[in-house]
Amino acid sequence: MPLSFDTTGFQQQDQTHWVHPGTGDQVSLLYIDVPPDLPRGLDELAALRHDLAARTAESGCLIEAHVVSLQGLPALLQVLRALFRPA
């Protein structure tokens, strides 16, 4: 599934990271290759969205969550806003 966003004002750092020099905002595209630990099944999308939003609330917010098909298999596409706290 192609993913795109408006990069106006952002500088691409590498294949998956962009930074806005004026605001310090960052955008990262992450692929996490581990078995999912979803709080609900993909067939319970409304409840799944609620639980994902609650799980994300401490460090950011859930922007959207959709069930998509990848090579004929159901998958979860999430867009999150997370606070970055430098170490």
pLDDT tens digit sequence for 29-53? 877 788 888 999 999 999 999 999 9
pTM over 0.85? The answer is: no
**Which residues on adjacent β-strands are paired with residue 33?**
none
Cα–Cα distance, 7 to 20 (Å, whole number):
9
Cα–Cα distance, 56 to 52 (Å, whole number):
6
Domain ranges of the chain: 30-81
User: Which pLDDT belongs to residue 66?
Assistant: 95
Tokens of 41: 């099944």
Per DSSP, the chain holds a count of helices (H) and strands (E) of 1, 5
Residues (pLDDT < 50) of the chain are none
